[in-house]
């Protein structure tokens, strides 16, 4: 998927969280075999394995994307290794911290985003981040699935967009077929943000960050009642394991942003990139005509 996005003119990104050093290096070799274009490695900084990061720095990866954690611990090291640095932030304060240590590019991630996300809607966050970013490009993330989203983000001061959920529904995506079908079935408003994902997977994200997933019976039962869930985690995890074996999609958490409600097809990643750019160009030409 990362190589396909890079080949199409985007910046394909490989998430390293949950992967061993060997797995990351194997995937880096695969990406390099499939594309000569730049790509990035993503690290969630407070879960980063030092060995993996050190090996990645030695590999001369062209771009690093970071999320959460302390920018001072990673940005200078990546820059000294010759890489460009991108920091995904969810508040203006996080943006300021990343700018202080000289990050090259910011991603303003709005509350609509799939996976772990912050508290502020993109429409509010993005212009504020652009204001503190100075001459740095800011990319918009959260709920963007098409050219309308790209055009809107550019109007709000962004220099580009980051899309996660849209690329889950592509042919190259490693998401399961159940996950892809859940994205296609989702309607606007069919996602929910809750710390359930981390409670159930036993991963302790600092700061009580929430995770956006598709609504189902599991989220209806526990979202908003996470304190109670904490008392019965083992029991619920056992039930979920059985449900997963039966492929009961009402009991599986599928990561997705609010944009899932507008995804209608599973297509090659290059087609997504091409259509998003073409549609945004058409819209911007049309909008330009409004003021002539
Ligand atoms: C399945 C999934 C996994 C994600 N994993 C990561 C990750 O490992 N690191 C990270 O910085 N962001 C991760 N994100 C968040 C993306 O970086 C991005 O902010 C988000 O996908 C943008 O919103 P969208 O999903 O509405 O396009 C993930 C998002 C999804 C949907």
CA 128 to ligand 1 center in whole angstroms: 21
pTM of the model: 0.97
* CA gap 119, 210 in Å, rounded: 9
Instruction: Supply the residue whose CA is at minimum distance from atom 7 of ligand 1.
Output: 15
- Whole-Å CA distances, 88 to 104, 107, 109: 11, 4, 6
Pick the atom of ligand 1 nearest to 107's CA. 19
| pLDDT tens digits along 56-84 | 999 999 999 999 999 999 999 999 999 99
Choice from 12, 164, 192 to test ligand 1 binding pocket (greatest atom count within 8 A of CB): 164
Task: Give residue 173's pLDDT.
Answer: 98
Q: How far is the CA of 114 from the centre of ligand 1 (A)?
A: 6
Which residues does 258 contact at the CB level (< 8 Å), separation at least 6?
112, 142, 143, 188, 189, 191, 212
Give the pLDDT confidence score for residue 204 in this predicted structure.
Answer: 81
Ligand 1: residue whose CA is nearest its atom 14: 115
**Are 102 and 90 spatial neighbours (Cβ–Cβ below 8 Å)?**
no
Each residue of 129-177: pLDDT tens digit? 999 999 999 999 999 999 999 999 999 999 999 999 999 999 999 999 9
State the pLDDT at residue 205: 83
Which pair of tokens denotes residue 230? Answer: 């904490």
**Residues with beta carbon inside 6 Å of ligand 1?**
15, 17, 42, 44, 67, 88, 109, 112-115, 141-144, 162-166, 168, 255, 257, 259
Give me ligand 1 centre to Cα 107, in Å.
Answer: 11
Strand 210-214 versus strand 191-194 pairing type = antiparallel
Angle at 249 between CA 180 and CA 273, to 5 degrees: 15
What per-residue confidence (pLDDT) applies to 208? 74
Residue of the nearest CA to atom 17 in ligand 1? 164
pLDDT beneath 70: ranges in the chain = none
Query: Cα(206) to centroid of ligand 1, in Å?
Result: 17
């Amino acid at each position: 998927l990362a190589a396909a996005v890079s080949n199409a003119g985007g910046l394909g990104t490989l998430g390293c969280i949950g992967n061993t050093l060997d797995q990351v290096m194997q995937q880096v070799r695969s990406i390099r075999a499939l594309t000569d274009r730049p790509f990035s490695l993503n690290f969630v900084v407070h879960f980063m394995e030092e060995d993996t990061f050190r090996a990645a720095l030695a590999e001369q990866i062209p771009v690093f994307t970071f999320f959460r954690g302390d920018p001072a611990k990673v940005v200078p090291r990546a820059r000294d290794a010759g890489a460009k640095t991108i920091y995904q932030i969810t508040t203006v304060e996080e943006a300021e911290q990343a700018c202080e240590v000289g990050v090259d590019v910011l991603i303003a991630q709005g509350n609509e985003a799939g996976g772990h996300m912050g508290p502020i809607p993109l429409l509010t966050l993005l212009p504020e981040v652009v204001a503190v970013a100075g001459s740095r490009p800011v990319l918009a993330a959260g709920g963007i699935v098409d050219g309308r989203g790209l055009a809107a983000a550019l109007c709000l001061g962004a220099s580009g967009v980051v899309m996660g959920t849209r690329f889950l529904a592509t042919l190259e995506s490693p998401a399961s077929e159940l996950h892809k079908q859940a994205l296609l079935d989702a309607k606007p408003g069919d996602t929910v943000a809750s710390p359930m994902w981390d409670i159930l997977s036993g991963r302790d994200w600092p700061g009580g960050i929430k995770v956006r997933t598709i609504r189902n019976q599991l989220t209806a039962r526990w979202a908003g009642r996470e304190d109670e869930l904490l008392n019965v985690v083992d029991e619920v995890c056992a039930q979920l394991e059985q449900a997963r074996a039966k492929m009961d999609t009402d009991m599986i958490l599928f990561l997705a942003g609010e944009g899932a409600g507008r995804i209608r097809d599973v297509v090659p990643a290059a087609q997504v990139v091409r259509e998003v750019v073409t549609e945004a160009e058409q819209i911007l030409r049309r909008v330009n005509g409004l003021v002539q």
